[in-house]
Amino acid sequence: MTQYVNLHFILFLSLATLAGCTSPNPYGDAYGSQETRTVQQVYYGTIDKVAPVTIDASTQTNAIGTIAGAAIGGILGSKVGGGSGSDIAAIGGGLLGGYAGSEVAEKAGKRNGVNLTIRLEDGKIISIVQEADPNMIFQPGQAVQVNVSGDTARVVPR
């Protein structure tokens, strides 16, 4: 029984570590290395409306979590017992790990976001969704800067 408790604990720690590695700072003030030294168009405007949303990337991370969990669970399960018992434990560990990996990935893939409706200085109204940043709370009437690069944009206070 102790072997199974240890197996579950190790599996949980492995999956928690995997989930923690997938989320760099996603806020409007975070830039990936590929975004540095690129030209962005800058627009100025005023926030008309702020609406909370949920950003759901779980469908993208779920397959990775399931596969990683199954692999980790299968490897750890194969260490339990010997002979056919080891085979059964490996299959069970793989199934349990796949399920746990899927659950961890689903929870890690959902984040709080904000849908910002912005009236630009030229009168055009746009809407941008980005991850919510507790240090960057937007309010209606607030002046903002919209940085656009290709099809992506981010909103920052002005």
Higher-scoring residue by pLDDT: 111, 149: 149
pLDDT of residue 23: 42
pLDDT of residue 110: 74
pLDDT of residue 156: 94
Helices (H), 21-132: 58-78, 84-108
pLDDT of residue 66: 60
pLDDT of residue 109: 65
Spell 21-42 as b/e; 16+ CB within 10 A means b.
eeeeeeebeeeeeeeeeeeeee
Type and span of the H or E element at 89: helix 84-108
Residue 63 in contact with residue 101, Cβ under 8 Å?
A: no
Rounded CA-CA distance 4/94 in Å is 13
Query: pLDDT tens digits, residue range 16-73?
Result: 544 444 444 445 566 777 777 788 999 999 999 999 998 876 655 556 556 666 666 6
pLDDT of residue 37: 76
